[in-house]
Structure 1
Amino acid sequence: MGHFSSMFNGLARSISSMKKTKNLKKNGDGKEVVKAMAKEVKKNELILRSSGTVNVDGSNNLASAYSKREEKGVNQDCCIVWEEFGCQEDMIFCGIFDGHGQWGHFVAKNVRDSMPLSLLCNWQETLVEAAVHPDFDLGSQKKLQNIWKHSYLKTCEAVDQELEHHRKIDAFNSGTTALTIVRQGENVFLANVGDSRAVLGTPSDNGDMVAVQLTMDFKPSLPQEAEWRTQCNGRVYSLDDEPGVHRVWLPHEDSPGLAMSRSFGDYCVKDFGLISVPQVIHRHITSKDQFVVLATDGVWDVVTNEEAVQIVWECPVQGKAAKRLVEWAADGWRKKRRGIAMDDISAIVLFFHSSSSSSSHQFELVPSSSESVLRY
């Protein structure tokens, strides 16, 4: 059980002790445990927002993040890297968010800021609730998967509901995608809402680096997405000047024309099939797996999975891998999509093994907008 976080084991010991004297579910002590744990989170946060790299001393993780805005306007992409997530040495949270619409940058930042804390609280509460059952098994991979899936589902529902009632953000015609990952020991859990993508870099049997796509791009053209959306009276079709680019439209209006089938916000079409339910994926990390790339569609529009993995793998400094991938994608927009305005481009690369060439606490930070950059 060494791959489980110290919080997981410490919580288990606390619960085991408490169960001898009290019924947690009956007396509500489980929630008290959760509250106490949540307070500890605030004491030891290591969060990086915007662009840069982070590597905590002694950590096996190194995360590289970089974002580049389009030629005009504000960057509606944003990222977050939270090392020692939940004050646990073996946990890290990374997220990448792609806003759209007039208020898209505000929506993206709101979801970025609220999602990790909400997820952490829901994970802690779900863990406490699960642990009170007599058949709870700390070593069960299936149980671990169910806990994180349940936590992510609760979190995404709560975040979307809170956003809808936000007093200062108008998300009726604006929204954001969200692709996040939690590494807990030798396990990674991903949740995807929208059309960003996660790709794993791992060597094949002959030593060549190969790309394994972990998430699905939730585009309106997917048969399973289009089918139930049509059942809700929403329309999915391509414009004449955008052949092959399917969008979601209102039943009787040529609006809003969303190029994804899942997002936070965009309440104008939430009654017509658009959802914020995440695809939750679990993968056990092997000793061969090297890194996972999280990137917005601005990258994948011009870079293949295989190209992305090779670009990262050949980067001599891990901390600069995300920047190299983003710059490569920007060059791809100039060459492959001439005359088309470049999309915002953002990427996070989470390495599972830090190389000796990467120095701890050495940051290359390039602000992607007017927002202040956190330094450590």
Structure 2
Amino acid sequence: MHVQSVSLQGLRESNEDEHDIVLNMDTENKDNNKINIYGVFDGHGGSHVSTFLKSNLTKYFVKKNKHDLFNNNKITIKYIRKVFDHVQNKLKKEKFAEHEGSTALLAIHNMELKKNNLWVANTGDSRCVICNKYNIAVQLSKDHKPNNFEERSRIHGLNGKISFDGSDWRIKDLSLSRAFGDLDATPFVTHKPQIFKYKISSRDKFLILACDGLWDVLSNQEAVNFVLECCNFGKQNNTKISDINIADKLANFALKSGSTDNITVVIQFFENLN
């Protein structure tokens, strides 16, 4: 297993993205969960909320406070929702959260008891994609956009309004419908996550987490194909994946493909493709 990451400022004046990688799978501390956590936080209006999430969100999953936390579906889902609520409540005390916000995409990889489960919790329009054994891209999260049927129904049910500015559907000035912070846009913009569970096969190849700076210009399959091409190039040249920052290459490919946003990418390789 190998993990790579990169965060590019791109064409923006500053980089408001953050990401977090917690490699805790082989811990000998019995008080900690044997899990890996990957997080992507795409800030908007400033970087305060994304920085806050990097410092505060993943730590609630590392420490083992329930023996069956990741072995019981109902308990896992309930706990993830509780953590997201708790962190948003902490943000309500911060002045910067009034007009700033951030997506939150978490992938929690649990290999305890050989279950090899992947939990994905998503708030916003960052995205998680896996490359399966057939080299097919499978999306493991849903993008939260105001014009999506489910999101539009939720917003209208709260008597909220969405508008089209010629390029994007928006709630106020926001082109996403779920985020941490953004207190001036709640409850129409909510921090509530959607949670997905995926059973990782021994032949699944890698996982990509990235902000919309990547996905706005590349399809899921295009991103997967690019990573596969990099892996094949390395194999042909007797170069190990660990010696090639494919996450950096993928982000730069998105930049060359026309992305004008910050671009943050995390890739977990499940097997040595060399």
**RMSD over equivalenced CA pairs, Å:** 2.0
Take 2:49 and 2:272, find their aligned partners in 1: how far apart are those partners? 33
Alignment of 1:12-91 (within 5 A): 61-84=1-24, 87=27, 90-91=34-35
**Greater helix share, 1 or 2?**
1
**1:308 corresponding residue in structure 2:** 223
User: Does the 8 Å CA contact 1:199/1:292 hold for their aligned counterparts?
Assistant: yes
Amino acid at match of 1:327: N
- Of 104, 117, 123 in structure 2, the residue corresponding to residue 193 of structure 1 is 123
User: Does the 8 Å CA contact 2:133/2:204 hold for their aligned counterparts?
Assistant: yes
- Of 37, 47, 53 in structure 2, the residue corresponding to residue 105 of structure 1 is 47
Listed one character per residue, the Cα deviations across residues 252-296 of structure 1 (whole Å, up to 9, x for unaligned) are xxxxx111110000000113x221111111111111101110010
Instruction: Tell me, yes or no, if structure 1 residue 118 matches structure 2 residue 60.
Output: yes
User: Does the 8 Å CA contact 2:122/2:141 hold for their aligned counterparts?
Assistant: yes
- Of 236, 241, 246 in structure 2, the residue corresponding to residue 321 of structure 1 is 246
User: Does the 8 Å CA contact 2:124/2:178 hold for their aligned counterparts?
Assistant: yes
User: Does the 8 Å CA contact 2:12/2:262 hold for their aligned counterparts?
Assistant: no
Alignment of 1:201-216 (within 5 A): 201-204=131-134, 209-216=135-142
Amino acid at match of 1:266: D
Instruction: Tell me, yes or no, if structure 1 residue 283 matches structure 2 residue 171.
Output: no
Take 2:50 and 2:25, find their aligned partners in 1: how far apart are those partners? 20
TM-score (norm 1): 0.64
Instruction: Tell me, yes or no, if structure 1 residue 296 matches structure 2 residue 232.
Output: no
Amino acid at match of 1:118: Y
User: Does the 8 Å CA contact 2:209/2:265 hold for their aligned counterparts?
Assistant: yes
Take 1:318 and 1:153, find their aligned partners in 2: how far apart are those partners? 35
**1:330 corresponding residue in structure 2:** 255
TM-score (norm 2): 0.87
Take 2:210 and 2:183, find their aligned partners in 1: how far apart are those partners? 25
User: Does the 8 Å CA contact 2:10/2:255 hold for their aligned counterparts?
Assistant: no
Count of equivalent residues? 256
Give the greater-gyration-radius structure (CA): 1
* Identical amino acids, percent of aligned pairs: 28
User: After TM superposition, what 4+ stretches of structure 1 lie above 4 angstroms from structure 2?
Assistant: none
What SS does structure 2 have at the residue aligned with 1:333?
coil
What SS does structure 2 have at the residue aligned with 1:87?
coil
Structure 2 segments unaligned to the other structure (5+ residues)? 235-239
Amino acid at match of 2:204: D
User: Does the 8 Å CA contact 1:65/1:349 hold for their aligned counterparts?
Assistant: yes
Structure 1 segments unaligned to the other structure (5+ residues)? 1-60, 132-140, 250-256, 335-341, 357-376
